[in-house]
Amino acid sequence: MLTVDEEITLRILTKENAADLFNIVEKNRDFLREWLPWVDSKKTVEDIQTSIERWGYKYRSNTAINAGIFFRGELVGMVAFPEIDWKAMKTSFGYWLSPDFEGKGIVVRCIKELTSYAFRKLNLNRLEISCAEENVKSRALPEKLGYLKEGILRDHYYLNGNLHNLIVYSIIKSDWEKVTENKRVRC
């Protein structure tokens, strides 16, 4: 468990969380489907349990971190380092949040805390966030936290019958130290 602040904790999910996670996905399926390619493959609680087991294995193998976002004790979304490349000292972020909890700065606070965690505790040097060019809400997050827009991968992935451009943002450890030293990051 990682405490982000007095309202938010991040926890590795267990099979006991499967029904709650499935209910969030089911309730918000149309909303989540717009940007997340995995949504349609999660049709049952058992599908979610299988994913939780796979995430647990990757966590124990020290190759990924997939955590539930708990806001005031309630599971409201997820944040992840889906694959950690220890040799290159880098990882990327994945995140999603139930629309009922948008506008509270939850994901920004999580990514800010996990960015510091990745650099200070995991000793990584580079973090990436990739967002669909049209996903303005998701793009606002790395821009707010001082991540650098590195470029656009044209027609990079296929989702919902369309090819989408992907914008890649990154931050390296020395840049994050400057950003936090200047206290530019506010949530």
70-117 confidence digits (pLDDT tens): 999 999 999 999 999 999 999 999 999 999 999 999 999 999 999 999
The predicted structure's pLDDT at residue 179: 82
Q: How many CB atoms lie within 10 A of CB 176?
A: 22
The predicted structure's pLDDT at residue 175: 93
For 100, list phi and psi in degrees, rounded to 5: -65, -15
The predicted structure's pLDDT at residue 184: 55
Tokens of 93: 């972020």
Tokens of 170: 């990154």
In angstroms, the CA 80 to CA 83 distance is: 9
The predicted structure's pLDDT at residue 148: 96
Cα atoms in the Cβ-side hemisphere of radius 13 Å centred on 67: 20
The predicted structure's pLDDT at residue 187: 47
Tokens 């969380």 sit at which residue?
17
Could you state, in order of their start, the residue ranges of all structural domains in the chain?
2-181
**Reduced 3-state DSSP string for 56-76:** HHHHHCCCCEEEEEEECCEEE
Q: Domain 2-181: give its CATH architecture.
A: 3-Layer(aba) Sandwich (3.40)
Q: How many CB atoms lie within 10 A of CB 91?
A: 22
CB burial of 56-88 (b: ≥16 within 10 Å; e: otherwise) equals: bebbeeeebbbbbbbbeeebbbbbbbeebeeee
H-type helices in 105-172, by residue range? 106-120, 136-144
pLDDT tens per residue across all 187 residues of the chain? 899 999 999 999 999 999 999 999 999 999 988 888 888 889 999 999 999 999 999 999 999 999 999 999 999 999 999 999 999 999 999 999 999 999 999 999 999 999 999 999 999 999 999 999 999 988 999 999 999 999 999 999 888 888 999 999 999 999 998 888 765 555 4
